[in-house]
């Protein structure tokens, strides 16, 4: 691709068990990942994951300097509100890239170039993998001064950054996903803050070039997702990537790290499988054992036994 892409991922604390699945899905893809972290670099990372040692205080200082006022990051989750700011705050690291973006690590990336290529990018400024709002899990922004400062068009951007609680600034200002997907306009929802989505849609009316389409899969149902070497398929439709945010929220979801990485595997709300997760396969899986133990632990906690 002629367009060079970098995804910016600040991450602090401890890597989740599913990180290996993410790494395996992004290797040899036509983009770089700039991983800013205080975590020791794992072995055998692909060359397109650029591991940049960074302390949390160092990140706070960088943000404060770029934004010209003191900020505080009370917890790593608050970083999500800062996603639209990464182009400005990390500009020195992005000099050689045409686009920068956000990519969550609870994802599995499929056939990237089928959905994101020069034809997609040459005539747009912003891409979102969700049609109705900016997807914090996957978006791309053209790396220029105008787009990197676009977040400042929100009347609430400074207030949002000073509040300790995550506000959904990077997406649609909170839990308004279903209303937007049902066809309601973000301008009619009386959302407490002017989110980045609202800013983008306002600027779109003035000529900002955007491409919003549903290429990020976020399943909630019982059907399984087929992950092949270079594709993500669900109910006979192919997607750019799987974002299993709803699967992992369930108490019984489990990543079985003992399974060898395979050219084809499967995902559902119970976790990952190397064989089609029929009822029999799931019944005798490590995932089911984990689910049973988790349920026992939850019930014991309810009656006061830890």
Share of the chain above pLDDT 90, in %: 86
Which strand ranges, in their side-by-side order, compose the sheet holding 32-37?
A: 49-53, 32-37, 5-11, 99-103, 138-142, 126-128, 210-212
The Cα 72–Cα 46 span in angstroms is: 32
Residue 63 has pLDDT above 80, yes or no: yes
CATH number at residue 181: 3.90.550
> Residue 260: is its pLDDT beyond 90?
no
Instruction: Give residues with Cβ within 8 angstroms of 68, minimum separation 6.
Output: none
Per-residue b or e along 104-113, where b marks 16 or more CB atoms closer than 10 Å to that residue's CB: bbbbbbbbbe
Q: Which of 126, 144, 125, 124 is nearest to 135 (CA)?
A: 126
Please indicate, yes or no, whether residues 89 and 174 belong to a single structural domain of this protein: yes
If asked whether residues 283 and 136 sit together in one domain, one would say no
Give per-residue pLDDT as tens, 3-46: 999 999 999 999 999 999 999 999 999 999 999 999 999 998 99
Verify that 123 and 32 share a domain, yes or no: yes
Q: Are residues 120 and 167 in the same domain?
A: yes
Q: Which residue has the tokens 């009316």?
A: 205
On the question of pLDDT at 306 being above 70, the answer is: no
pLDDT in tens, 169-208: 999 998 898 999 999 999 999 899 999 999 999 999 999 9
- Cα 163 from Cα 111, distance rounded (Å): 38
Of 185, 212, 239, which residue is a domain's last?
Answer: 212
- List CB contacts of 166: < 8 A, sequence separation 6 or more: 77, 78, 80, 81
pLDDT (mean) for 118-142: 96
- Among 212, 232, 259, identify where a domain stops: 212
Mark whether 194 and 271 lie in a shared domain: no
Query: In terms of domains, do 69 and 9 share one?
Result: yes
222 and 204 co-located in one domain: no
| Rounded Cα–Cα distance for residues 68 and 62 (Å) | 10
| The pair of three-digit structure tokens given for residue 155, joined into one six-digit string | 């009347």
Same domain for 287 and 193?
no
Distance of CA 283 to the CA centre of its chain: 31
What is the number of domains present in the chain? 2
Same domain, 283 and 134: no
Question: Are 16 and 57 in a shared domain?
Answer: yes
Query: Is residue 277 scored above 70 in pLDDT?
Result: yes
194, 212, 230 — which closes off a domain?
212
23 phi, psi to nearest 5 deg: -60, -45
123 and 257: one domain? no
Q: Which domain holds residue 260?
A: 217-302
Nearest to 196 by CA among 218, 176, 168: 168
Reported as type and span, the H/E element at residue 234 is: strand 231-234
- One domain, residues 44 and 180: yes
């Amino acid at each position: 691709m002629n367009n060079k892409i970098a995804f910016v991922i600040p991450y602090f604390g401890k890597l989740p068990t599913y990180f290996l699945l993410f790494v395996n899905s992004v290797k040899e893809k036509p983009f770089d990942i700039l991983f800013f972290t205080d975590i020791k670099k794992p072995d055998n990372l692909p060359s397109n994951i650029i591991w940049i040692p960074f302390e949390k205080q160092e990140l706070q200082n960088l943000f404060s300097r770029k934004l010209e006022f003191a900020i505080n990051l009370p917890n790593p989750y608050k970083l999500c509100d800062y996603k639209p700011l990464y182009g400005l705050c990390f500009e020195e690291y992005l000099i050689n890239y045409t686009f920068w973006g956000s990519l969550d690590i609870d994802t599995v990336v499929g056939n990237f170039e089928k959905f994101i290529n020069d034809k997609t990018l040459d005539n747009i400024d912003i891409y979102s993998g969700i049609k109705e709002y900016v997807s914090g899990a996957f978006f791309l922004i053209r790396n220029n001064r105008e787009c990197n400062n676009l977040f400042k068009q929100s009347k609430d951007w400074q207030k949002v950054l000073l509040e300790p609680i995550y506000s959904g600034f990077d997406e649609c200002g909170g839990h308004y996903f279903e209303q937007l997907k049902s066809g309601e306009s973000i301008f009619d929802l009386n959302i407490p803050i002017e989110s980045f989505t609202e800013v983008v849609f306002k600027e779109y009316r003035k000529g900002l070039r955007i491409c919003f389409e549903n290429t990020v899969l976020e399943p909630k149902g019982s059907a399984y997702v087929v992950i092949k070497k270079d594709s993500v398929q669900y109910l006979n439709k192919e997607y750019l990537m799987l974002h299993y945010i709803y699967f992992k929220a369930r108490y019984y979801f489990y990543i079985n790290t003992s399974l060898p990485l395979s050219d084809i595997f499967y995902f559902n709300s119970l976790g990952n499988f190397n064989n089609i997760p029929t009822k029999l396969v799931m019944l005798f899986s490590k995932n089911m054992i984990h689910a049973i133990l988790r349920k026992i632990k939850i019930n014991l906690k309810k009656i006061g036994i830890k």
